Structure 1
Amino acid sequence: MTSAGFLYSKGIVFSPADTPPISTFLESNPGAYTTTRTHNNSASLLFWDRHLQRLSNSVKILLTSNPQFLFKSLNSTINPLLTPPPPSDPVWESTIKSLVNESVNKVLPVALRETRNEGEELAVTALVTGNTEKLGEVKRNVFEALDVHVHVGSHVPHVFGVKGYGARVAVVGPGRNIAEAKYSDWVRLRKSLEKLRPPLVTELLLSNDGDRILEGCVTNFFVVCRKDNRNEKYLGGNENTLPYEVQTAPIGDGVLPGVIRQLVIEVCLSKGILFREVAPSWSEHEFWQEAFITSKPFVFYTFSLLLASIAFDQNSSNVINT
């Protein structure tokens, strides 16, 4: 994706000259966000319904656990209308989806018409942020205090299955707070981990103990592992006949419920492939047959290199070099 693009914000479509890179925009604005890309020569947005569902859930989680990640400069006095809706609220979900779709439809046609080359796909990021200035004016519900921003930029799909395109990863730091939500503050917070990036590494993995791998900074992490002899609970397949299982850390351990993560789980279940939600252990990596990461908008990468280059001080959350 190129650094420039189009931005829809507060009712205005900004031209490429006035649109910051997506990383800069996310670092500067709090909120929950999701990123996808166009598909099939920009005919559709890839897995868009799933992205909208995850975005709706992320906004709800931030309202519940840390509204400061949603509203900039929020003081300790919380407007009672910011009380999040019940876990399953169709009105909440449909309203968030409607607000986001309305904003996307303001800017995506402009980007398609003015900047896209034939065959080029576009990366689309939707950010739902709280408007602190509107909090005092909210009379009915929290939707009145939410703004939606949409950033559209160029995206060139990566080539898979070619030597040299595998991901290079390293374990470098502890897991995220409020990991089940995707929020823009993480773009800023992960910069401290970027300073630990070894040469040639393309993704940084997170672990709270230096052994059990949770996820990547921007990806979910999976391994295909030879089964052990423990009596474990499997999803799908027949544990008596299949020699391998797919493993990834459970959401409860502190990982993002990625869109492609869920698709991998669904494929495993539909194909009878053993799947176990358990954090892959580096101490058992000799049993790994394969490892891969999944992300939007790149779908997935297999590994060409895995480094265990950072260990953790067991008595603190700091990372130390080994």
Structure 2
Amino acid sequence: MSSSRFLFRNGTVLHSSDAAAPITTFLESHPGAYTTTRTHHTASCLLFWERHVNRLADSIRILSNSAPKLLFQSNNHRLSLPVTSPMWESAVRALVDDSMNEALPIAMNERRGGEELSVTVLVCGSSGRFNGFEYVDEELMREALDVYVSVGCYVPRAFDVRGNGARLAVVGQGRDVANAKYSDWVRLRKPLEKLRPPSVTELLLSNDGDHILEGCVTNFFVVCRKDNDEAKGTCLHDQNNTCAFEVQTAPIQDGVLPGIIRQIVMDLFISHSEFMSAKICPRSMFPSLQQEKFFEAFSNVHRSC
């Protein structure tokens, strides 16, 4: 399967030009909410799958209410669907589960021994399918939404190898509707990609050129020495100021994607800080390029397309 990619629509294999195109090209031409993950341990499980499905449902709900043009193929940009979060989650989960149950066995059958798989799920639809209905129930949503599943080979990057670290540059402002993950961002970021210096592997977003929001395709964190006088009481999990360092990442409410890895990193520092040789406290605040106590920065290497 090394050179192959499978594309499914509602569980059926597609053999159109969309199936042969790179996944980024497909996302550019299809509005919708999406998520990307991969398999682990010789394709025996999907990484953080429950979290991905939950965020996918959240993204669909957010886009349907605040930016339907990013979700539906429609000229009616004022469309809004008054549906509840449990309904979105239930309908999306059922649709995605049905599609994945059809797609993964086929991809696994073509997989070579030892290969891992990259999986992208896109949920979209046409707003015209809702015409004439005053109430949107789960059954109608399942008929109106399409689920695309793209499965290809994934080659994990080796850690602790010189040259595999991220090389960063600040190039543009934050995303609109940043708390949802939508495919149109793949198209919108292309002008930023043209500004990428040859040696840079990730582009950072900032509204003022100093305070970092996130990367174009990654979350962004900095580790800095903690100033107990300035930071006293700012970390809910370190009221006694016992941490020597703090890891900073921009708050979700200030315009970043609620990334899966972002939350896992924050949870990790909270739950395992007592086992670390130097205690590190997580803190939601804008990482600043101007701060003097900057110690280290890192970004996750697999967040999205």
Name the structure 1 match of 2:102: 106
One-letter amino acid of the counterpart of residue 271, structure 1: H
2:90: which partner in 1?
94
On the 8 A contact 1:3/1:22 being kept in 2, the answer is no
Give the secondary structure class of the aligned counterpart of 1:123: strand
Q: CA deviation at 1:210?
A: 0.3
What SS does structure 2 have at the residue aligned with 1:281? coil
**SS of the residue aligned with 1:160?**
coil
Deviation at 1:297, TM superposition (A): 5.4
Q: What corresponds to 1:212 in structure 2?
A: 211
User: Per residue, is there more strand in 1 or in 2?
Assistant: 1
Which one of 283, 286, 293 corresponds to residue 279 of structure 1?
286
SS of aligned partner of 2:42: coil
**Which SS does the other structure have where 2:96 is aligned?**
helix
The alpha-carbon distance between structure 1 residues 258 and 77, as it changes in their structure 2 partners (threshold 3 A), is closer
Q: How much does 1:239 deviate?
A: 4.9
Instruction: Kindly indicate whether the alpha-carbon contact (under 8 Å) linking 1:37 and 1:297 is maintained by their aligned counterparts in 2.
Output: no
Shift in Å, 1:76: 4.7
Amino acid at match of 2:184: D
Contact 1:206/1:214 (CA < 8 Å) preserved in 2? yes
> Aligned-pair distance for 1:64?
1.3
For residue 111 of structure 1, report the CA deviation from its aligned partner: 1.1
Q: Which residue of 1 aligns with 2:271?
A: 270
Contact 2:270 2:281 in 1 (8 A): yes
After superposition, residues 30-179 of structure 1 pair within 5 angstroms as: 30-76=31-77, 78=79, 82-85=81-84, 89-114=85-110, 116-136=111-131, 140-141=136-137, 143=141, 144-179=143-178
CA change 1:3–1:167 in 2 (3 A) is farther
Cα deviations across residues 72-113 of structure 1 (Å, max 9, x unaligned)?
2332563x6x2231xxx4343122111111111111111111
Contact 1:69/1:185 (8 A) holds in 2: yes
Structure 2: which amino acid aligns with 1:127?
A: L
- Rounded Cα–Cα distance in structure 1 between residues aligned with 2:240 and 2:198: 40
2:10, 2:99 within 8 Å by CA — same for their partners in 1? no
User: Could you tell me whether the CA contact under 8 Å between 1:238 and 1:274 is conserved in 2?
Assistant: no
Note the residue ranges of structure 1 that are not aligned, 5 or more in a row. Answer: 299-322
Q: Secondary structure of the equivalent of 2:69?
A: helix
Between stretches 89-98 and 262-271, larger displacement belongs to 89-98
Residue 302 (structure 2) aligns with: 296
Aligned to 1:225: 224
Q: Secondary structure at the match of 1:109?
A: helix
Conserved 8 A contact 2:243-2:281: yes
Structure 2, unpaired ranges of 5+: 274-279
How far is 1:13 from its partner?
0.4
Contact 1:247–1:275, Cα closer than 8 Å, also in 2: yes
**93 and 76 in structure 1: CA distance in 2 versus 1, 3 angstrom threshold:** closer
Amino acid at match of 1:98: A
* 2:176 maps to 1:186: no
Cα-Cα RMSD: 2.1
In 1: Cα distance, 2:303 partner to 2:170 partner? 22
Aligned residues: 291
Q: TM-score with structure 1 length normalisation?
A: 0.84
The answer (yes or no) to whether the contact 1:4–1:21 under 8 Å persists in 2 is no
Q: Report the CA distance between 1:237 and its aligned residue.
A: 3.6
Which residue is 2:277 aligned to?
A: none
Shift of 1:263: 0.4
